[in-house]
Amino acid sequence: MMKYDVITFGSATYDIFMSSRKFETVEDEKFITKKGLCVSLGSKMHVEDVFSSMGGCGTNSACSFSEQGLKTAYFGAVGKDIFGEAIKKELKRHGVSLNLLKESAKHPTAFSVVLSLPGAERSILEKYGACHQVTEKDIPFDPSTKLRADWFYVSSLSAGSHQILVPLLEFAAKEGIKVSANPAGSLKSEENTKILKTVLDKIDILILNQEECSLLTGIDFNEEKKIFKKLDEMVKGIAVMTKGPAGAVVSDGKKLYSAGIPESGLVDRTGAGDAFGAAFTAGYMETGDIVHAIQLGTANATAVLQEMGAANGLLKKGDWGPWSKVEVVTKSI
């Protein structure tokens, strides 16, 4: 059976983007972010731009790996519907193997509607689907069959699919498969966070944003040094903290590596985190060099920011875009 360079796990969704300058922002304490994106109830509103594309952290990351020249498969599920067909077509376009993709007759493809006010912010309406219903029994754990790879890339696992996290990482440890993980979905509840903590020692590269690192460690968002000290105790491998416009910071337990982002335009933020995480991992897989990995991850994320959709601006292997490689500053811990 074929052995892949990397197999990705996570969601596969179809996204509809709607943008209008007539959306209103309303400040109110009842919103989690203290602000709401609102429309007039019972009215009809003109939408200026509509765009649709594949989304989902599992499929987005698979496309990044494949564009970086790695033999890649996505493990997950879509429904037997038009959105599932569109996702399959997009994965094929990027050269991702569909051998591990399941089609569900019971559950529809996961779906999102992204509402955005230009120059302000966006809100996402999401409907869980087939990819969120994957269970342990769906995984072909016998390595002589299909699940053979040098690396697993485990992105956010939400709803029912979170139950595959522990058996998947235990299987990887048993088979000598390295693991890079961006498990944001594991931090959506205390129970899932506790489960994640039991397998941190089986993760070679842990990728989370600053808020997620705070949630995992229980340390204040702004106490970066304390967060990394705790992460180094919890994680056996490399800990990566993404900080949006402020760049990223990485620890290998001995040194801290930090970099900003290049000056660039911004069309759509969707998928930028997936683009960074996958390209960082691909760069590290290729060279074992954290500096190179940060530079490649940053370049890929910046490229995705320039296009609508999560997989439309991805860099191909050898292409760094029009930006200079970011400077990476290192210091001993």
Average pLDDT over residues 64-84: 97
Chain segment 155-184, per-residue pLDDT in tens: 989 888 999 999 999 999 999 999 999 998
The gap from C-alpha 2 to its chain's centroid, in whole angstroms, comes to 25
CATH topology of domain 4-33+47-332: UDP-N-acetylmuramoyl-L-alanine:D-glutamate ligase (3.40.1190)
Q: What does the pLDDT read at residue 176? A: 94
Q: What does the pLDDT read at residue 145? A: 67
Beta carbons of 113 and 95 less than 8 angstroms apart: no
Least confident range from 44-53, 142-151, 222-231: namely 142-151
Q: What is d(CA 40, CA 264) in angstroms, rounded to the nearest whole number?
A: 35
pTM: 0.93
Average pLDDT over residues 108-118: 91
**What single string gives the DSSP state of each residue in 226-265?**
HHHHHHHHH-SSEEEEE-GGG-EEEE-SSEEEEE------
Q: What is d(CA 252, CA 234) in angstroms, rounded to the nearest whole number?
A: 12
Q: Band of the pLDDT at 143, cuts 50, 70, 90?
A: low
Average pLDDT over residues 119-146: 85
DSSP letter for 204, please: S
Which two three-digit tokens encode residue 318?
């050898």
Least confident range from 211-215, 255-259, 308-312: namely 308-312
SS3 annotation, 142-201: CCCCCCCEEEEEECCCCHHHHHHHHHHHHHHHHHCCEEEECCHHHHCCHHHHHHHHCCHH
Q: What does the pLDDT read at residue 259? A: 96
Checking if the pLDDT of 311 tops 80, the result is no
Checking if the pLDDT of 267 tops 80, the result is no
How many other CB atoms sit within 10 Å of the CB of residue 135? Answer: 11
Q: What is d(CA 266, CA 269) in angstroms, rounded to the nearest whole number?
A: 7
Instruction: For residue 209, list its beta bridge partners.
Output: 242
Q: What is d(CA 56, CA 62) in angstroms, rounded to the nearest whole number?
A: 10
- As a whole number of Å, the CA-based R_g of the chain is 19
Which two three-digit tokens encode residue 211?
């808020």
Chain segment 314-329, per-residue pLDDT in tens: 999 999 999 999 999 9
Q: What does the pLDDT read at residue 33? A: 81
Share of the chain above pLDDT 90, in %: 70
Average pLDDT over residues 206-210: 95
Mean pLDDT (the chain, rounded): 92
Checking if the pLDDT of 186 tops 70, the result is yes
Chain segment 12-62, per-residue pLDDT in tens: 999 998 988 888 889 988 887 888 988 888 888 889 889 899 989 999 999
Average pLDDT over residues 309-316: 83
Share of the chain above pLDDT 70, in %: 98
Q: What is d(CA 307, CA 163) in angstroms, rounded to the nearest whole number?
A: 34
Average pLDDT over residues 286-315: 91
The gap from C-alpha 21 to its chain's centroid, in whole angstroms, comes to 28
Domain boundaries, the chain: 4-33+47-332
Q: What does the pLDDT read at residue 196? A: 94
Rounded alpha-carbon distances, angstroms, from residue 155 to 4, 93, 205, 277: 17, 21, 12, 9
Q: What does the pLDDT read at residue 144? A: 60
> Residues in the chain, how many?
333
Q: Alpha-carbon torsion 254, 260, 262, 266, what sign?
A: positive
